[in-house]
Amino acid sequence: MDFITHLINGISLGSVYAIIALGYTMVYGIAKMLNFAHGDVIMVGSYIIFLLMSNVGVPAIPAVIISIIVCTTLGIVIEKIAYKPLRRATSLAVLITAIGVSYFLQNSSLLLFGSDPKVFSSVVNLPSIKLANGMINISSTTIVTVVVCILIMIALTLFIKKTKAGQAMLAVSEDKDAASLMGINANATISLTFAIGSGLAAIAGALFCSAYPSLSPYTGAMPGIKAFTAAVFGGIGSIPGALLGGILLGVIEILGRAYISSQLSDAIVFAVLIIVLLVRPTGILGKKLHEKV
């Protein structure tokens, strides 16, 4: 019975990773860059919710919505100021800039909110569910996380398949210059991708901090790295890959922590990643790349 509890917790943590990984994967697919600051947007979003709920007394749902709006704006602004001028630069230059943005967000939060961890109160206030005569106890946060993740996946898939903007995203990710020649506004499309990714990061932040309620300026870094790993795991650039990679990673982490060693759970996660990449060098659902000679 413990196993089922762990499994469900794993899926829940994995769902958070999946939501964050979506942000990585979409930005990577479209702008071909690793947005190292993505994890820190999660942290910013969580602080906003924390401040609104604890200091102002805003209820959970409006607080999350405001956080999404702020993060979306933040994503667009970061892209405009730091990444857009570097569109033609080498990928390493963009990577370093992203690291700079990450430092910037961490340290401005440090100045604004201090370094001591804040206790984040869950945005989900529902009773937990007991199954099998109370032997399996699932918190409401866990359930909500999984449900939200599924809803986001469906919405995003529909958005990309059914809307003009979604199709434009696909086109830009395939070939930016060709898409521009076809009359697609590539810059606006990239902005939109950053906006969606950052909005998702706000949701992920709310869910992550509800499950792990300690909030500090460095809260976003580790889930960010893990979600990036999840994105690579599933095949970076692929949306179903992000979901699959995220969930697998979460489950492996929780099960590893429960059954092998709590200290080694990160090592286990990374070891699995390495094995997967050795067998499938572009991730589970990644496309095989051929170089034309």
Residues that bind other proteins (CB under 8 A): 28, 34, 36, 82, 85-86, 88-90, 92-97, 99-101, 103-104, 106-108, 110-111, 225, 228-229, 232, 236, 261, 263-264, 266-267, 270-271, 273-274, 277-278, 281-283, 289, 291, 293
Helix (H) or strand (E) holding 62: helix 60-78
Our CB check for other proteins shows the closer of 5 and 266 to be 266
Q: Smallest distance from the beta carbon of 241 to other proteins, in angstroms?
A: 13
Beta bridge partners of 119: 214
Beta bridge partners of 130: 137
Residue 248 neighbours by CB under 8 Å, 6+ apart: 14, 230, 233, 234, 272
Our CB check for other proteins shows the closer of 74 and 206 to be 74
Our CB check for other proteins shows the closer of 110 and 119 to be 110
Q: Smallest distance from the beta carbon of 222 to other proteins, in angstroms?
A: 8
Q: Smallest distance from the beta carbon of 96 to other proteins, in angstroms?
A: 5
Q: How far is CA 100 from CA 62, 105, 134, 282, in A?
A: 31, 9, 49, 27
Q: Is 59 exposed, middle or buried (0-12, 13-18, 19+ CB in 10 A)?
A: exposed
Q: Which of 14, 18, 20, 11 is nearest to 200 (CA)?
A: 20
Which residue bears the tokens 């000679």? 293
Our CB check for other proteins shows the closer of 74 and 273 to be 273
Q: Smallest distance from the beta carbon of 229 to other proteins, in angstroms?
A: 6
Our CB check for other proteins shows the closer of 95 and 143 to be 95
Q: Smallest distance from the beta carbon of 268 to other proteins, in angstroms?
A: 9
Our CB check for other proteins shows the closer of 163 and 214 to be 214
Q: Smallest distance from the beta carbon of 244 to other proteins, in angstroms?
A: 16
Which residue bears the tokens 């899926």? 11
**Cβ atoms of 150 and 139 closer than 8 Å:** no
Q: Smallest distance from the beta carbon of 232 to other proteins, in angstroms?
A: 5
Angle, vertex CA 247, rays to CA 241 and CA 250, nearest 5: 135
Burial pattern 36-51, b for ≥16 Cβ within 10 A else e, equals bbbbbbbbbbbbbbbb
Our CB check for other proteins shows the closer of 104 and 159 to be 104
